[in-house]
Amino acid sequence: MSIVQVNSSPSSNEYPVNAEKLTSIIETCLSDSSLGPETHTNLILTELSKSSSVHKFVVSVTRVDSSKGSHFDLGIESHIGGYWNKTKDGVVSHTVEPSPGIHYLVTVIWVSK
């Protein structure tokens, strides 16, 4: 079972799809950890474009693999900013762990067309 955690609240009142569907899209697209981040990014973009025709999307996927048993404390800090219409455009980040030791940070940005 994967772990999905919402790391940030959406930065607007308008989601491109409801929050549960967005989480489901991300979790489903990241379920195969043998695929690379580029493939995961394209899968998420494809599903989002099917879900909303009134938004443009930018997706970032970062993979952290500690499954090989390395013992170290990894700190990652990331920030994305934008200048846009705060009522229609937004960004949200999720952390997903599809299997032990494999972590993804997924950021979805949407801009109203």
pLDDT in tens, 25-71: 999 999 898 899 999 999 999 999 999 888 999 999 999 888 776 66
Angle 98-101-103 from CA coordinates, rounded to 5°: 55
Domain for residue 74, yes or no?
no
pTM of the model: 0.81
In DSSP notation, 50-70 reads HH-SSEEEEEEEEEEE-TT--
The total number of structural domains in the chain stands at 1
Domain for residue 75, yes or no?
no
Domain for residue 76, yes or no?
no
Which residues constitute the domain of residue 108? 3-67+86-112
Nearest partner of 105 among 60, 43, 45, judged by Cα: 60
